[in-house]
């Protein structure tokens, strides 16, 4: 699945780069400051496209970061719980008890 994701990502970057390279003419970008003064910049279309793509990538990564961190914290908490339960099991089990496996259980068929 990761390979498919990387292939798709490489194709997307290639498509954006080709689109940006074919559109090298300049465009006007209108910006506002806090006083609502209008600023106009002349920038190549490539800068606008690649900048928008990069900004969108960062926003998507930022919103994906929190669930991933939450999942990692949950996994660490569960690992600690498993370790404590295993220690408790070792402490509570008799010292000479044989391990019981599914194959050691005799069948009741006659």
Residues 28-74: tens digit of each pLDDT: 888 887 777 778 889 988 888 888 888 998 999 899 999 999 999 99
Task: Characterize the bridge pairing of strands 26-32 and 38-44.
Answer: antiparallel
User: What pTM does this model have?
Assistant: 0.52
Tokens of 41: 């910049």
Tokens of 70: 């939450």
Among residues 49, 51, 65, 59, which one has the least CA distance to residue 15?
49
Provide φ and ψ at 25, rounded to 5°. Answer: -70, 160
SS3 of residue 42 by DSSP: strand
């Amino acid at each position: 699945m990761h390979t498919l994701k990387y292939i798709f990502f490489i194709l997307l970057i290639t498509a954006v780069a080709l689109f940006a390279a074919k559109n090298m003419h300049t465009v006007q970008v209108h910006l506002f400051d806090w006083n609502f003064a209008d600023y106009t910049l002349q920038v190549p279309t490539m800068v606008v496209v690649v900048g928008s793509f990069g900004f969108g990538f960062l926003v998507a990564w930022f919103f994906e970061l929190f669930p991933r961190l939450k999942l990692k914290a949950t996994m660490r908490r569960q690992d600690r719980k498993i370790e404590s339960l295993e220690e408790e099991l070792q402490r509570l089990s008799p010292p000479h008890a044989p391990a019981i496996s599914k194959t050691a259980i005799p069948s009741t068929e006659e």
